[in-house]
Amino acid sequence: MSANSSNTDPTMPVNSSNTKTKSVDLAHLKHGAQLSIKLSTSTFFAWRRQVNSLLAGMKCSGYINGKIEPQPEFINTNGISTNNPAYEDWFANDQLIVSFLLAAMTERDSVAFSSCDTARQLWLAIEAKYANPSRAHVMSLKNQLQRSRKGSQTVTEFLFQVKRIADELAVLDTAISDDDVTLYVLNGLGSEYRDIAASIRTRERSFTFEELHSHLIAHEEFLQKEDAPADVAVPTANFHQRNGSRNFRGRGSFRRGSRHGSNQHMNHLPENSFNPMQHSTYSKEKLDEVKEEWATHMVEDVINDAKRLQK
């Protein structure tokens, strides 16, 4: 074989010409740098982005994209074959990257890819498996969007569940429009969001995700305030129900110390009466009704007592 051969097989002696490996700092990899996510079908694009960013920051992306080629293991100088110091540097850096990539996978993938000798070989094998998602995977993600329901989740949890799936479809070159995202969200809300859903559907301009989130959060807070009962202790009185209406008992019911006073009736209520102290949690509307009825009967008692004293 000619000494000027371009063959880069590290076991073959070749003439040295620019065999020095560019110096790179792999201190982060040496100290066990790790990614926040493991490689999988659903995380591949985010995982690849993290790997590329980390290696680019250490100026060693060439080991996986092929721009840094393998160095020959031996060099030939004046017909004498000797070890190539540049190969040792290249090999050490390359194997650190291989170890880093294998550690960023699940155990199953790490075993499957362990036969790759160089970082470049490993990277090509990873892309061959994960970079071209199947049609079935895309259809599965779309089905998840269609079936998404808020259920017991908060509005924020539900919206970001939908957004995560939409973002994953976007990186698979199957982007979902803002209108489609809005439709998936509205279809997954409960009946208590019917009014605001109708308002959102009738707007001419599309909602961005941020706008949709803001509107639904405001409505969620409104619903929470409406559902929260007013915890108010109401005056002690006995009510009598006839034909669906609640009326106060006679004037004796409010006389302190009376034989037929309120204290006695507290313990001996008729079957069709109820004690408001047993129902101290009222809505605002009910509380207003109680106050009005209470005031009316108090005035009637005062007038009746005054007439009785004049006789």
Report the pLDDT value the prediction gives residue 172, as an integer from 0 to 100: 75
Report the pLDDT value the prediction gives residue 135, as an integer from 0 to 100: 79
Report the pLDDT value the prediction gives residue 308, as an integer from 0 to 100: 75
Q: Nearest CA to 57 among 46, 49, 67?
A: 49
Residues (pLDDT < 70) of the chain are: 1-33, 228-284, 287, 290-291, 294, 299, 311
Report the pLDDT value the prediction gives residue 125, as an integer from 0 to 100: 94
Report the pLDDT value the prediction gives residue 217, as an integer from 0 to 100: 94
Residues sharing a CB contact under 8 Å with residue 144, sequence separation 6 or more, in sequence order: 165
Report the pLDDT value the prediction gives residue 156, as an integer from 0 to 100: 94
Report the pLDDT value the prediction gives residue 81, as an integer from 0 to 100: 86
pTM greater than 0.95: no
- Using CB atoms within 10 A of its CB, is residue 287 exposed (0-12), middle (13-18) or buried (19+)? middle
**Cα 143 → chain centroid:** 18
Asked whether the beta carbons of 181 and 209 are under 8 A apart, the reply is yes
Report the pLDDT value the prediction gives residue 160, as an integer from 0 to 100: 93
Q: Which residues pair with 248 in a beta bridge?
A: 239
Report the pLDDT value the prediction gives residue 266, as an integer from 0 to 100: 41
Report the pLDDT value the prediction gives residue 98, as an integer from 0 to 100: 94
Asked whether the beta carbons of 153 and 190 are under 8 A apart, the reply is no
Q: Where are the domains of the chain?
A: 13-130, 135-228, 239-310
- Using CB atoms within 10 A of its CB, is residue 21 exposed (0-12), middle (13-18) or buried (19+)? buried
Report the pLDDT value the prediction gives residue 249, as an integer from 0 to 100: 45
pLDDT (tens digit per residue) in 194-211? 999 999 999 989 999 999
Report the pLDDT value the prediction gives residue 175, as an integer from 0 to 100: 86
Report the pLDDT value the prediction gives residue 289, as an integer from 0 to 100: 75
Report the pLDDT value the prediction gives residue 265, as an integer from 0 to 100: 42
